[in-house]
Amino acid sequence: MATLTYYRPAAAATRRSLRSLLDLHRSRRALAQLDDAALNDLGLTRAQANAEAARPFWDMPAAWPRCHTAAEGGKRGHKTLTD
């Protein structure tokens, strides 16, 4: 009889990836809702914010997984929203 082995590290990595994608989607939505004064404080224009918010959730910047993983442990922080 065959025994199925559940590989927990792979499942944990999948959950982290899905969580990262969801966090990215939420961050982009929040960025789109900022007013012009808040965007100015961040050094962004409305056009830049709209362009970032229009990106699909699977279009993850290369640095996102590294800064997201470094912030694991109950606190999630994001250093950048663009490449």
| Within a domain: 64 | no
- For the entire predicted model, the pTM comes to 0.60
Here the tokens at position 76 are: 């999630």
- Specify if 53 maps to a domain: yes
pLDDT for res 74: 44
Could you list the residue range(s) of the whole structural domain that residue 46 is in? Answer: 20-57
**67 within a domain of the structure (yes/no):** no
User: What is d(CA 11, CA 27) in angstroms, rounded to the nearest whole number?
Assistant: 24
Is the pLDDT confidence value at 65 over 90? no
- Residue holding tokens 């927990």? 8
For 27-54, write each residue's pLDDT tens digit.
Answer: 999 999 999 999 999 999 999 999 999 9
* Residue 29 host element (H or E): helix 8-33
